[in-house]
Amino acid sequence: MTDVTFAEIEAAAARIENHALVTPLIENPVLNERLGLRVIFKPETLQRVGAFKFRGAYNRLVQMTAAEREGGVVAFSSGNHAQGVALAAQLLGMPALIVMPKDAPQVKVAATRGYGADVVFYDRLTDDRVAMSDALAAERRAVVVPAFDDPHIIAGQGTLGLELMRQAMAVGLVPDVVVGPIGGGGLMAGVSTAVKTLSPDTAVIGVEPEAFNDTLLSLQAGRRIAVSPKVRSLCDALESPAPGLLTFPVLQKNLADVVLVTDAEVGEAMRYAFQTLKLVVEPGGVVALAALLAGKVKLSGAKTVALILSGGNVDPAFFAQVLRGEI
């Protein structure tokens, strides 16, 4: 499978049923009043492993053959995909090795190990994580599970969009706009496919960190462009240097816009999510809310906006600094 269809997203939903959680669709009157909109949000912070990544990981691993399962899997990730793959592997009884950056949040490293995976570290600046993963997989006769550029991963992430739309429609709502984060594009490729199938008039908008604007640049140029930022972003989960080969054409077709947020806006949104929405949301997971609060989302008369809060895995000490306004 090289293309991701709505039918494949529905099939993924059937595969992950009884394994992934159906996260709620929530709204908050204080947020609605502040923005003068009806804002509904999907807190994947409540998903297994604390992020949407479990959806795609389980959908990919559950389709592996018995022979493939013997060798297990290798994945590279800064943390949320790592945890998703580690838990899916544990549930399916196969070994997992995760290649993680040395500076990955310790809460993500500890959780990945807690799900039974082995961890090997790499240096973001000097090591080629893809080459490392391929070499380790060859040694172990394992299957490499990409974080986003895989049709089964994309379909699994698309179940979030399917769920969101069906939950909204069940209470008589059709979002005018759906906003979510973009790293390599797996989430929003899958989500946008589900959303545009069920509601072609709904606009889908992606959000990137200001320093990692590869998808925006790629869409403007009409081809995939990689960035080489000289600075880090608070959003460790979204530091992909380029959109995926599979994800980019889908984003080209389905996205109405991509907007950028600063670290300061991300910090403000994390504080707002904690203080007002009563949710712990990690930097990469809060960018959709950050963009909306900063007035960066083109609403064009929209009355109902749906936000994806994609993950809540954040180191306690760092989170405390954010809450104190030190970051």
**Cβ neighbours around 263 below 10 Å, total:** 18
The answer to whether residue 280 is domain-embedded is yes
Answer yes or no: 230 catalytic.
Answer: no
* CB of 245 closer than 8 Å to CB of 149: yes
308 shares a domain with 225:
yes
156 shares a domain with 140:
no
16 shares a domain with 73:
no
The answer to whether residue 310 is domain-embedded is yes
Which of 138, 139, 96, 136 minimizes the C-alpha distance to 115? 96
61 shares a domain with 44:
no
What DSSP element (H or E) covers 171?
none
248 shares a domain with 102:
no
* Secondary structure of residue 296 in the 3-state scheme: coil
What sign for the dihedral angle of Cα 270, 275, 281, 285? Answer: negative
Q: List residues bridging with 203 in a β-sheet.
A: 177
Find the DSSP H helices in the chain: 6-16, 29-35, 53-61, 66-71, 80-92, 106-114, 129-140, 151-170, 186-198, 214-221, 247-254, 263-275, 287-293, 316-323
Structural domain containing residue 74: 54-144
200 shares a domain with 280:
yes
Amino acid code (one letter) for 161 = G
295 shares a domain with 195:
yes
* Residue at a domain's end among 113, 144, 175: 144
Answer yes or no: 310 catalytic.
Answer: yes
Q: Where are the beta strands (DSSP E) in the chain?
A: 26-27, 38-43, 73-76, 96-101, 118-122, 143-144, 177-181, 203-209, 255-261, 304-309
Q: Model-level pTM?
A: 0.96
The answer to whether residue 233 is domain-embedded is yes
* CB of 81 closer than 8 Å to CB of 75: yes
CATH number reported for the structural domain that contains residue 120 in this entry: 3.40.50.1100
Indicate the number of domains in the chain.
Answer: 2
Q: How far apart are CA 308 and CA 43, in angstroms?
A: 7
- Please tell me which residue in 53, 78, 133, 233 is annotated as part of the active site: 53
- Give the single-character DSSP code of 308: E
135 shares a domain with 173:
no
Q: How far apart are CA 72 and CA 80, in angstroms?
A: 19
The answer to whether residue 22 is domain-embedded is yes
The answer to whether residue 1 is domain-embedded is no
Q: How far apart are CA 161 and CA 223, in angstroms?
A: 25
* Residue at a domain's end among 110, 144, 178: 144
The tens place of each residue's pLDDT in the chain, 327 residues long, gives 457 999 999 999 999 999 999 999 999 999 999 999 999 999 999 999 999 999 999 999 999 999 999 999 999 988 899 999 999 999 999 999 999 999 888 899 999 999 999 999 999 888 998 999 999 999 999 999 999 999 999 999 999 999 999 999 999 999 999 999 999 999 999 999 999 999 999 999 999 999 999 999 999 999 999 998 888 899 999 999 999 999 999 999 999 999 999 999 999 999 999 999 999 999 999 999 999 999 999 998 999 999 999 999 999 999 999 999 998
Q: How far apart are CA 241 and CA 17, in angstroms?
A: 32
The answer to whether residue 242 is domain-embedded is yes
